[in-house]
Structure formats: structure tokens, C-alpha cells
Chain A
């Protein structure tokens, strides 16, 4: 029972950390139809900034997160202007190649400046101690990540379903040319959603650093995981991303706990099965 419960908590927290990162990618792919393999690179940049801010500048955890998100967004703006705008509407192969190229550049440049070592982001005291929830104790950091995930999911749902920006966003997704003709500034919608996606990647990279450690090849190592989660969930769907993250998080964590020798075997076997049955993901749009 104890084992099942700790697997469940770990799986939930890991799934939520994945979710925070992947929902941004899901937005980019669902809305802008860009297969952005460099999404993990933005999470990695944020991790490096947060680690630098917390360890070398001595800032607090909250300040480090904020600085990381802002810094990553600032870095991403020229990339969006100069590179991403050119591949909107290109074939998947072109987009994959361009974004793999960006990923390689980010890895090379960050390691040139920060050195090829594992970066840690020290947790504040309040998050590193266990919390008693009545029947057992849980690491506070796990609860924090779960709370962040729920907050992100709720916030995005509100933004997309309940605000006027959300209406414009959905209109642009359904028919960009028509939305443009009706006076929606689709370029601005694209730019804002790209910024939101990058900000979420940054947030996820920092709070998820306990599960996905910040290391030199971070962007490449987890690129596949993020892409897989999005294609399983269905691009552009919040519900699909939640379902995919929780399911794949559970499969991965359970596999590691019970059969550590097999590594990622179950993860990828599950992915092949799911993609074969649901080629568009759980909640993907048809067409």
C-alpha cells in the first residue's frame, strides 16, 4: 500500500511537471502548426538562468523563477521574429530540421558559457521538507509541483474559454484567414501565444528540475519525451495534454519503480500502442 501510494504521488508530480512544459508545446503545435522541437531548449535556458540566479547571485527561489521566465521570453522574441516566422506553414520536415538546428545551437552556446556540468536549483527550506498530510508525509516540493500544474491547467482553461483573447485564439485556430478578415490581429495572437508557450516551458523547466535534471544535453534528451506526450494527447488540447501526461507519467514512474532494468521500455511500448490506436492523439482535432 505504501509503495502504491508513493508511486501514485511521484507519478502525479512527474506528470504535472511534464504537463507544465508540454502544454506550451501543445499550444504551439495546435495553434501555429509548428513542430517546435526546440521547446525543451527554452526549458533548459530557464533552468540555467534559475540556477545561475539562485546559486551565483544568491536570489530566492521565487525571484529565480521569475527571472528565468522573463529571461527566457526575452531570448525567445528575436528567435520568433527571425526564425520561427519563416517556417509557419512549411512542411513538417522543414520545421523539424529548423528547430533541431535551434536546439543544437542552444546546447552548444549554453555549454560554452556555463560549462558542461549538471546544474542544480537549490530549493528553499519550506519546499525541501516533508509535509504531514494526516495519513502520511509527502515531500513539499511534490505538492508544490502538483499545485503549479493544476494552476496552469486552470489558468489556461480560463484564458482560452472565458476571455476575449481566448475567443480570438480559437477563431484563429479554426480559420486564420477568416479571423484575419474579421479584424483579429492574427500576427499578435501568434506572438502572444508563442510568448505564453515559452513562458510555460520556462516555468516547467525550473519547477520540474527535480524530475528532469538540468544538464548539458537536456534539450536533446527530453525533446523526444515532450514531442511524444503532445502527439499522444493531441496537439492543442489542454484536456488531452493532462490525460497524456498523467498516463505516461504513471507508466514511466511505475515501470521505473517496479522494473528498473527495463528503463524506458514500457514508456515507448505504450506510446506505439496509443499512437497506432489514436493517430491524432486522445483529443486531437480532425483534419
Chain B
């Protein structure tokens, strides 16, 4: 047991691991792959379709394994094998088809190879160029019996794609059938014609045709086909005709068809149709078959029927209804009186074309024609073709009818009546034309033409004509350049502007010329300028004589020192005393105040005038004021010679003084001392002291006024016052002419006085002193007379009157201003102007008076000086008395007042002028100033003539000097005695009284003026102020020289006076007086310098 229990050492065999333990899961993968592969292989095998064999003539392009079989362009198989059939006759292509289509491939299936094909109809199978050919299959959609062997078609079938349609055959016996062409209907391709082939019998050409479904209804039994390829050209009686269907068919060819007659049964497949060469024939064939009945008529023409042939159309109203079928000549025996052979035209008419259809149409047509013939239907010949001369038969209704009817002779054709033909014989016409051309004188014409051409050639060939084109071109170029220039383009506008300006300028010029014609301004201005020139020359000459005179006086003074001074001094003292009393008088003292009052009045008057002038401006009375200014200018011009005589008078007084110097100086010195004292008192008075200031103020005012005046002048120019200025210039000219004699006399007077002085020096001085004493005594007497003494009072009164006048004037002007009576004032101004014009002759007498005085002085010179001295002494005495008068004493005060008034007046004038400036009259004044400048130029030239005059005067005096002096002196003595007598005479003594009377009268005159001529006076005042300013300007030029001479005179006087006792009161007074004078002279000098520095200040007011 134990042995048995012993476990044998059993070889332990490890348990075999299970299959799944040993085999990896990975084994699934190869198994899966295997399954997949097997599955694919089985599926491929199962889906393989059957193979079919197709026999082809060749296998061009068929590749084994690649070439496809397509049905409706869907791949349904692939060529598996390409091999030869038995005997190498054909190519056997084995195609494996898909199972889907395999049942349908039955015995009706057809196969062909699709290759690229280029025909006239286009390119087909283009895709096969790249992809290679393929085999197209076609079969119906019904499964059939299985057939596996086919014969491929050489060409694709016509109904490729198995479209519904109609297949039929076309046939022709001619050559008009072209294969592989489109089938056209009205130019649209509706089908195709297959390749043409000759029929089996070789007689006809046949082609299969296929028309697509919508159009197969168009094909009926009566459808006609014709070849529409190419074109046809026909030249017949209907003219030339070129026919072709379309360009496409012209190139590609084609068969067209049309159904000309409606109706007919639709064609069956397989029907055969004839193809006609052209449409006409095709159409005709329809009728040929249809109108079985024809109506044959005839017509007999008398005319030549050349050109009419069988087949010519017969037209009714242009519609072809038949054709000529025959021409016969007949000899109509039946026609009376006519045996000629006539032409019978037989023509066939198709009633169908007239609408007669069906049975009995022939009879109906015949009836129709009979009816129409009765109504006028006629047959006649007409030209069918102009070129060929072909004729046709027309059935028309001509207007000029002859009776006729359709004749129906038995057994013959019905005869239609005829009408004259409507032939157009082209040949005859052309012949006639040629004949006329032939008759033309062509030879002569050609000759003339040749001659003409020769001449024309020579003309054209000439150089001038050859140059014409070039010149023309250049001319045209220039013209183009000129006209194209922008300046020329702008020319019209500029011309327009210029024309406008010209028009305006011409208007202005005409106006100006008219004014100038009326005024004759130029002549007057020239005359005025001449006068001014002459006057200036005279002044210049006289001025030249002054130094000489001063020298003489100096010499005389030296000699006078040697004289017996005492007696003369006493006399002079008396004179001076009188003068002192005169100057010291209350009236004299009051004179400045009065003058001031008068000036104040004038000022206020000027204010009024200011307003008045504004009113006047408004009243447009400028013309009249201008006229008044004219007159005032004339008056002032007349007055100026008299004023210019004053220097001469001063000269003479100087001479008198010189001679007085020869008198007894002591007495004379005392008198002079007194006189000087009086003068000093006079001068030293407040009014006199205020004079320079007033003068200065007045001058300032005048300056301002001048500035305003300048503007006023411009304004006046604007106011077209040129004429009046011209008139004023005229007046000035006249006045200057009048004054010139006086001016011319001044040099002579000066010369004379100089000569007198010279001669006086040569005389016995003591006697002269005595005579002078006597003269002084006389003068003293004269001056001491009551009338003379009353003269200052009279002047004072006159000035008072002037003041009153001014006051009145002011009131008057105020009234005028208030009353708006500007027009009346203007009229008054006109009147004043007239008055002044009238007064001018009287003023013009003043120069003559001066001349006479000069003559008198000259004669006095020739008198015996001693007696002359006595007389002078007396005269001096009288003068002293006169000067010593209270009235004379009051003169300075009045002058002062007058100056104040003048200042005020100028202020007012200034205002007036400012207003005038506001009135824009400045430009006129400017023009006036220019005229004045021109006038001054003329003055310059005229001044050149003065020296000659002076020379002549000097020569005259020289001759006088050459006379025997003793007799001359005696005569002078005598004359002086006479003069003394004269002076001492009652008449002479009455002179002061007369002067007083004159002054009184002047006062009354002023009083009158204040009532009547206020405006004129105002104007005159303004003009005078202007003239005075001018005169001051002119005098200011001479002022330096004058001052220098005054200095000299003062120096001389100083040296004279040094001889006197310094202690003498008279001398002291005289010295102080001299100092005063010197101071005054210095003031004047300063003024002169100021003016000299700024001459314009006189005008411009600065």
C-alpha cells in the first residue's frame, strides 16, 4: 500500500494552454484583412456585367481597357478586348457592359464610335480629342431578347440621342442634294439631312432626313424641299435677282422646305420627297400640281411685239396671273379695211390666282374678265425689263377708253380688247440722245476750250498768280494771328469804353469852348498879365532910385548941419508943437478906439456876411457875386495907382524934409522935438501900442483867411466862375493899364527929386534955409488953420460913420439872411458891380493926377530954392498946424480901431471862407491860383520893359539938367514963390476945408452905401482884402530892402541927431521916437523875415 501510496514521480506535463491563451488577439487583424480582400473580390466578380461583341470596320482610337461605352453620355461599359473577327475582316471589340443596361441591349441597339468631326455645320465630338474616342450606344428603353453580337455603325445616326421626330427621305434627280446638311425652315435649323447616296438604280440621289419633334408637323404631303445652299442669280423679264437663304446656308448649305398650300396630310416616316434646285421651282411645282384648270385668252396687238416671248408674264394690276403661251400671226380677213397681219398673243391665266377655286373656276374667271373688259379692262404691252427689252402683257384700265368687250369667237380663244402699249423704248431714246450729242458743235467747243485752257494756263502759270496762294496763306495767317490776339478780342469792349469816354469828353469840351467863347478869357488874362508886368517894371525902376535918393539925403543932411540951425529949429519946434497938440488931442487918442470899434463892427458884419454867403451859395447867386467881384477888382485896380503914388509922395516929403533940414535947425529942432513928442505920445498911446499886436493878429487872421481863400478859390473854380475871374482879370488889366502911367511917373518923379536934391546942394544953403524957414512958417500957418485942425475930427467922424455903416451892414446882412433875400442881394451885387465899373474911370484919373503932381514937383524943383524953402517953411508950418489938429491927433486911434475891426472882419471872413471851403469850391480857387501864377509870369516879362522907360525918363532929366542952372534957378525961385503964393493963397488954405468936406462927403457916401450897396461893399471888401493880401505879398518881397533902407535912414538920422544937444528934451524925445521907430522897424523886419521864410503863410495862414 505504501508503495501504492507512494506517489510516483509522475512527469508533470504542464497543462497545455488553451487556444486563446496561446493565440494572440493580433491574429484578428490578418483574418479581418483577409475577409475584406475576399469580400471585395467577390463583390467585383458579382457585379460584372455581360460582355457584348461589336464589329467595327476599324478600331481607330479604341483602346483596350480604356475606351468606354456610353449611353446618353453615361459610361455603361468599358472595352475589355479588341481583337479581330474571323478572317481579319473586322475588328471585334468586346465590351463589358454594366448589369443595369445589359437587359436593354437588344437587337435594335446600335453602336458607333464618336470621333471628333469638323464639318461645315460645326465641330462635333470635340471632347474626344482629349479624352479619346468612345463608343456610343443607342437602344430603346425596353428590355429585349439578349443579343451579344452587334455591328457598329460607320456614322452616327441622324436621330442621335433618340429624339422624337420624323425620319424621311429626300430624293433628287439633279445635283441639288447635298448630304450632311441642316434642314432649314424659314432659316431655322429644324432637322438634319444625312449623307447623300446614290440610289440603287443610280438614277436619283437619296438622303435620309430627320426633323425634330416639334417641327415634324410641318411636313405634309404638299411640303416642298429645295436646295438652299449657295445662291442663284437670275436675269429674266423680272430683272436680275440674286437669291440665297442666309449667309450660313450659303456657306454650309442646307435644304429648306416650306408648305405653300395649307392642308394636306402629315407625312409618314419613310416618305420620300423631291428636292428642287430652287425655291421658285419648288413653289411652282405646287401650283403646277394644283391649278389644273387654266383659262386661255388671247389679245391681238397691232404693234410690234418684239421682245415678247412665250413665258412672258401676264399681270393684272401688277399681280402675275399667268403667262404668255404663244404668239401667232393672223391675217384677219374679217376686219374691215385692214388687211395687215396682226399678232395674236395667247396667254394662259390661272384662275386660282384670282381666287377662283374649285370646279367651274374657269367659267367664273371668264365671266370675270368679260365683266372687267366691259368696264374697261384692256390688254396692252408693257416693258418688262428696260435692259433686256423684254415685254409683258399688262391688264390695265387706261383712262382714255375706247369701247370694247371680250369677244368670244366660237372655237377660238376669247379675245381681250387691247390698248396702246406703254413701251419705253430705251434704244430709241438712247439713239435720239446720241443724235443730239452728235449734233453738238463739239469741235468748236473743244477748240474754244483749248484756247481758254491755254490762256488760263498762262495766267495761272504767271509768277504773280503763283505767288497768290502763298500770299493768301500768309495773309490769312496774319489775319488769324491778329484776330486771334487777346488785344483784338478785347478791342470791341475797349472801343465801346473809348467811345463812351469820347462822348463825355466832347460834351465837356463843347461846354468849355462855349464858355471860353463867351468869356474870351484868354485875351483878357493876357492883357491883365501885360498890365501887371508893366506895373511891376515901373515899381522896380522906382525902387532902384531909392538908394540914390537916400545917399543924396545923407549928403544933404551933412550940409544941413552947416546951416543956421536955430531959426529953423524954432520953426520946427513950432511945427512940432502943433503936431504935438494934434497928436495929443483927445480925438487922436480916441481914434484907435474908434478904429477898433469900426473893426469890431466889420467883424460882426463879416459874421453876417458869413451867413449871407452861405445863403448866397444856396441861392446859386455865384454868378452875380462873381460879377460884383469883377467890378470890385476893377475898382481896386483903379485905386491902386493912387496908392502907388503914395511912395512917391513920401519921397517928395523926404525931399521936403531934406530941404527942411537945410533950414534953421535949432528952431526946427525944437519944433520937431515937440512934434516928435506929440508923435511919441501918439505912438506911445495904448491904441497905437496895440496896433502892432492888432496888426499881427490881423495878419494872422489874414493868413488864416488866405488859407481858406485858397480852398475857396478851388471851390469857385468848381463853380465855373472862370468867366468872372477872367472879367476881373480884364478889369485888373484895365486898372493896371490906367495905373501904369502913374507908376511910370514915379521913377521920373524920383529922378526929378534926386535932381532937385543935387541942385539943392549946389545952391546957396543960407538962402535956402531962410526960404525953408519961410516955407515951414507957411506950412505952419497952413497946418495951424482951423480947417486943418478940424480935419482929424472930420476923419474921425468919417470913421465913426464907417463903424455905423458896418453896424448897419451887419444888421442888414442879418436881415438879409433872415429874410432869405439872397436873390435881391445878388441883384444888388450886380448893381454894385455896375456902379464900380462906372466908378473906375474916375479912379483911373488918379494916376493922371499923380503925374500932374510929379510935373508940379518937377516945376517946383526948377524954382528958386530959397523961395522954395520959404514956401516950404510956410508949408511946413501949415502942415504942422494941420498935423497938430485934434482930428489928426485922433487918426491913429481910429486907425487902431479900424485895424481891430479888420481883424475881426478877417476872422469872420475866415469863417466864411471855411464855410465856402465846406461848399467844395476849393478846386476852383486852385485853378484861379494857377491863373495868377501865369499872370505873374507875364508880369515878370513885362517888368523887363520898365528899365527902358526909366532910362528915357533919366535922359529927359539929364536934358533938363543940362539947362542953364542960374536961369533955371531963378525960374525955380520964381516958381517957388508962385507956389508959395499958391499955397498961401486962399484957395490953398481952403484945401483942408475942402478935404474935410470931401471926407464928410465920403462919410455921407458911406452912409448911403450902408443903405444901398451893402452887399456889393461886402464883396468889394472881400476882394480888397484879397488884393491887399496880394499887395502885401508883393510888398513883402521888397520889405527886406525897404527895411535896410529904413535902417540906413535911421542911421543917418541918428548921425544927424548926434549933432544936437543930447540934453535937449526935443532931442531926447526924438531919440526915443527914433527908438520907437527902430523897434517898429525891427518888428516889421521880423515880420518880413517871417514872411520871407514862409511866403506861403500869407496864403496858407501859417
Partners in one complex: no
Residues in chain A within 8 A of chain B (CB atoms): none
Binding site for A on B (CB under 8 A): none
